[in-house]
A = this chain, B = another copy of it.
Amino acid sequence: MPWEKSFDEDLAVENAMQVFWKKGFDSASISDLIEGTGINRGSLYNAFGGKQSLFVKALLKYDADRQAMLARLEALDDPKKAISAFFDSIVANTVADEQHKGCFMFNTALDISAHDNEVRQIVTNGVSEIEAFLRRCIEVGQARGDIRSSMDAKATAKSLLAMIVAIRVLGRGVFAEAALQEIADQAKRLIE
């Protein structure tokens, strides 16, 4: 019998994710993906089927990372602090990325009409989960007396989501760190 598969598919998807994240679906060429993953043309098609299919795998990986991060924040068991930490990490990540890639999911959301239903569904679901996380944080915070109970949890969660979207979009090159932090601070003040 011959040997086993020799390259790490997960690592390849991770690398492909970086390429798609940086360039977007259209602008990322197969050659870019070959270079980024270090995998040969033939192997790439054999392992992943094609560009579209690889993109979905990359987006799913990004989505899994997002899910893990939200779970970590929720495990803090301190809703107000979780929201605060969430915003700080978003600003920090946005600023730290010299390539100004923004958020892969929101980038895709703005380009949503160019994608099929599978992609659309992943994005819609991801955004909904962020919103639900924020709402849960607010509601638990209210139950504990950490957050004003006069506040409309559902509507405020949407506002916070809006702030996140804005930080990610404007952080791609329009706003500098100070302005992004200002938005984040305003977001935190919303739940004071």
Contacts and interface: CB of A to CB of B under 8 A. Distances in A.
Contact of A170 (B99, B100, B127, B187): B127
Interface stretch (A10-18, A52-60, A75-83, A105-113): A105-113
Nearest to A124: B174
Nearest to A126: B174
Q: Main secondary structure on chain A at its contact with chain B?
A: helix
A172 B114 contact: no
Interface in A106-133: 106-107, 109-114, 120, 123-124, 127
B111 A170 contact: no
A187 B114 CA distance: 30
Nearest to A186: B159
Contacts of A158: 179, 182-183, 186
A90 to B, nearest CB: 12
Interface residues of A, number: 41
Given A179-B158, A183-B158, A174 B27 contact: no
Interface stretch (A39-47, A66-74, A140-148, A161-169): A161-169
Given A127-B174, A158-B186, A159-B163, A169 B111 contact: no
A32 interface: no
Contact of A162 (B110, B120, B183): B183
A18 B190 CA distance: 37
A126 to B, nearest CB: 9
A169 B124 CA distance: 12
Contacts of A159: 163, 183, 186-187
A109 B173 contact: yes
A112 B172 contact: yes
Nearest to A189: B155
A165 B169 contact: yes
